[in-house]
Amino acid sequence: MGMTITEKILAYHAGKERVEPGELINCRLDVVLANDITAPVAITEFEKLGLNEVFDREKVVLVPDHFTPNKDIKSAEQARYVREFARKYGIINYFEIGRMGIEHCLLPQEGLVLPGDLVIGADSHTCTYGALGAFATGVGSTDMAAGMATGEAWFKVPETIKFVYYGKMPRWLSGKDLILYTIGDIGVDGARYMAMEFTGEAIRELSMDNRFTMANMAIEAGGKNGIIEPDEITLAYVKQRAKRPYRLFQSDPDARYAEVREYNVSRLEPQVAFPHLPENTRPVSEAQGITIDQVVIGSCTNGRLEDLQIAAGIMKGKKVHPEIRVIVIPGTQEIYLEALRQGLVEVFIEAGAAVSTPTCGPCLGGHMGILAKGEKALATTNRNFVGRMGHPESEVYLASPAVAAASAVLGRIAAPWEVIK
Amino acid sequence: MIFRGKVHKFGADIDTDAIIPARYLNTSDPRELARHCMEDADPAFPEKVVEGDIIVAGKNFGCGSSREHAPLAIQAAGVSCVVATSFARIFYRNAINIGLPILECEAAVEDARPGDELEIDLNGGNIRNLTLGKAYQATPFPGFMQEIMARGGLINYIKERMKSGA
C-alpha cells in the first residue's frame, strides 16, 4: 500500500519508513513560526523551561503582523516583548516593520519554507505552505514554545481527502473560488483533523499565488493541512528563493484516501461566502446586488501580487463607488514595491482606494478598517464569523480579488464581467 | 478529577472569534480575557458564569484561529470542563496543552439543557446529568495525551522529559 504526500513528509521527519493514519508520531521541525499575538504567550511558556537558547536560531521565525504597525499601547507592549525576545535569543528571522509582510505571504517569498518541509506555526493559516508541497499546520502558543525548545512536535497522522479539480478554468475563476466552493461542499468541519490534497488538471495549471490561496483556507474546512504536490510551477517559484536543499515528495498511485471528491471547474462561477460561515457559499450571480460599505483586498489569503494585478486590471480607469470605502493591503513590502513599479498602486489611488502598509489589520477586526454596527464588507480574506471585522452586528462576505474589485466599482456585490465586458 | 457544575449551552461551530474576539487580543492576561469570554456568542456569559460551570456545545467547537487565548479565557472564566460533540483540532490540542479539561460526547450534549447540573469524572470520561438522572460515556483520550494532561500540560511534560534526559 502506498502513501500520500502528507504521510511521506510526516514519515520522513519522524525518521520512519512509513506511517499510518491515526498513528501518533514525534517529528523534527524545519520551521517554527509565531506572530505578535501568539508569540507573547509562547515566549512566556518557553521561558518557564529555563533554557538559554532556542533549538535553532535560523528555524524560529517571528513576524509581528497582526496589530502592527502598533495599533495601541497594549499592542506596542506585545510587539516589544517579541522584539526583545528575538534580540535576546539571536533569532535571525525576525521581521521588523518596514521589512516585513503578512507572515504567510512573507515566508514563501523569503524562501524560508520549501517543498518537503515540516512547519508548525502559531497561526491557523500556517497551512498556506502546503501549496509548496510542504506539511504545514497551525498550532497554539504552547506547542510553539515546545517547538522552539525541542525542535520537535507530536502529530497524529491524518487521513487524507483527495480533491480532484478537472476541466478548464473559466476566465474569472480563481483559486479562491475553488476553495470557497469546496468548503461550501464539505462544510466548515468537512475535513476536521484531515489532510486536504488538491490535485487534478485545473490545479496543475494554477499559479503559485492561486495555490497559496487554496492551501491557506484548508483550515476553514477544519483541515489539519492543505497540500499540493510540487511540479514545475512550484520549482520555478522555489528555485530563485531557496537558500538550502529541499525534497520533493509525491503521493503514490496506490496511496490510500479516506475519500475522493471530484469537481468540474469548467462551469463554476466565482463564489461568495455569505455571513457568518465560510461554508455559506453561493455563485456570485446569487449575490449580485447586495449593497456593501467596504471592500478589503489583501490578507494572507489574497494579498499577493497576482491578486493585486487582477484587482487593478478591473479598477483601472474606474472610480470606487462614492458610497463605499476600499482598502488595499499588499501582503509584503516586496509585493508592495512591485505593485508600485507596475503602476498598480497608482490605479488603486486614482480610483479612490486606500493603500496600506502590510498588516493582517481588518481581516481579524484588529485595525485599519473596522466595521460599525450594521455595516457590510466584501473581503478577499478568509473568515466571516460573527464580529470578525468589527461590530458583532456587522457582516462580512468573502470572495476573490476579481469580485472584490468589481464590487468596489459598482458599490454592491458584482461579477467581474459587469465591469470588464 | 471530578467536576460538578451548571451547564451553559451553545450551538455548533462556535469559533474562536466568538470565544474571545480578536479586538481583545492586545493582551494575553487571562483575567482580562475572561472578562470577554464567549462575548460574541452570549454577551451575558462573562457576568453569569461561576466557578466550576461547564460549557456544553455542538460540533466543531473552537474552529477558526489558533489563538490559545480561547482556552485560556475559558479556563480563567472559571469553567471546569468543556463538553462538545466534537472539537476543532487546534483548539483540542491547545486545551490539552494548557490543561483545560475537555470531553467529546454527542449524547450528553444533545440531552443537556441550560442550567442542568453535570458531574464529570475526567479520568474515566464519565458524564452524569444529575438534573436528568442520566449517565454517559465520553470518547477516551489516547494514552499519550492523558500523560500530558496528568503532568498538567505540555510544558511540564517537556520539563520532565528534559530532566530525565529522554
pLDDT above 80: residue A145:
yes
pLDDT one-digit tens code per residue, B5-43: 999 999 999 999 999 999 999 999 999 999 999 999 999
For A138, which of B90, B98, B155 is closest by C-beta distance? B90
Gap from A347 CA to chain B (nearest CA, Å): 32
User: Is the domain of A208 the same as that of A257?
Assistant: yes
Measure Cα distances from A89 to A68, A77, A100, A109, B96 in Å. 22, 18, 19, 24, 28
**pLDDT tens digits, A73-86:** 999 999 999 999 99
Nearest by CB to B158, which of A66, A149, A193? A149
Task: Please report residues of A whose CB lies closer than 8 A to that of B22.
Answer: 37, 66, 364-366, 388
Total domains, chain A: 2
Interchain CB distance below 8 Å, A41 and B155: no
pLDDT at B140: 77
Q: Give the model's confidence band at A388: pLDDT under 50 very low, under 70 low, under 90 confident, else very high.
A: very high
Point out the domain boundary residue: A208, A235, A262.
Answer: A262
**Hey, of B90, B147, B161, which one would you mutate to test binding to chain A, going by the most A CBs within 10 A of its CB?**
B90
Judgement on whether residues A200 and A84 belong to the same structural domain of the protein? yes
Touching A: B residues 18-77, CB under 8 Å: 18, 21-23, 25-28, 40-41, 59-60, 63-69, 71-72
Q: Is the pTM of this model over 0.80?
A: yes
Sheet bearing B2-9, strands edge to edge: B102-104, B81-84, B54-57, B2-9, B117-121, B126-129, B134-137
Q: What local confidence, expressed as pLDDT, does residue B162 receive?
A: 82
Q: Is the domain of A207 the same as that of A85?
A: yes
| CB atoms B25 and A277 under 8 Å | no
Q: Does position B166 have pLDDT exceeding 70, yes or no?
A: no
| Residue A196 CB neighbour total at 10 angstroms | 32
Domain span at residue A139?
5-262
Mean pLDDT computed over A234-243: 97
Question: CA-to-CA distance for B54 and B57, rounded, in angstroms?
Answer: 10
Specify whether A258 is located in the same domain as A275.
no
Separation CA A390–CA A392 (nearest Å) = 6
The b/e string for A294-329 (b: 16+ C-beta within 10 A; e otherwise) is bbbbbbbbbbbbbbbbbbbbbbbebebbeebbbbbb
Mean pLDDT of A134-162: 97
Based on the domain organization, do A82 and A212 belong to the same domain? yes
The mean pLDDT value of chain A amounts to 98
pLDDT of res. B54: 98
Q: What is the CATH number for A252?
A: 3.30.499.10
Q: Is the pLDDT of residue A348 over 80?
A: yes
Last residue of a domain, one of A210, A227, A262: A262
pLDDT (mean) for A253-272 = 98
Residue found by looking up cell 477516551 in the block? B140
- pLDDT at position A303 over 70: yes
Within this chain, do residues A311 and A188 fall inside the same structural domain, yes or no? Answer: no
| A291 shares a domain with A203 | no
**Which of A44, A146, A383 lies at the smallest CB-CB distance from B154?**
A146
The ipTM value here is: 0.95
Q: Name the percent of chain A lying above pLDDT 90.
A: 100
Residues A253, A276 within the same domain: no
What DSSP string describes A52-117? SS-S-TTTEEEE--SSTTT-SHHHHHHHHHHHHHHHHTT-SEE--TTS-B-HHHHHHHTT-S-TT-
Q: What are the DSSP calls for A86-103, one per residue?
A: HHHTT-SEE--TTS-B-H
Name every chain A residue with its beta carbon within 8 A of the beta carbon of B15: 383, 385-386
State whether A215 and A341 are in the same domain. no
**Residues A50, A192 within the same domain:** yes
Query: In which element (H, E) is residue A326 found?
Result: strand A325-328
Cell numbers of A27, please? Answer: 517529528
| Distance of alpha carbon A333 from alpha carbon A100, whole angstroms | 6
Q: Is pLDDT above 60 for A21?
A: yes
| pLDDT tens for each residue of B109-159 | 999 999 999 999 988 899 999 999 999 999 878 777 888 877 888 999 989
What is the pLDDT averaged over residues A204-215?
A: 98
Q: Taking a C-beta distance cutoff of 8 angstroms, is the pair A72, A110 a contact?
A: no
Q: What pairing do the DSSP bridges indicate for beta strands A271-273 and A259-264? A: unpaired
Q: Which of A240, A262, A284 delimits the end of a domain?
A: A262
Q: How large is the average pLDDT for residues A197-218?
A: 98
Same-domain check for residues A258 and A277:
no
Q: Are residues A76 and A19 in the same domain?
A: yes
- Residue B158 contacts A where some CB pair is shorter than 8 Å: yes
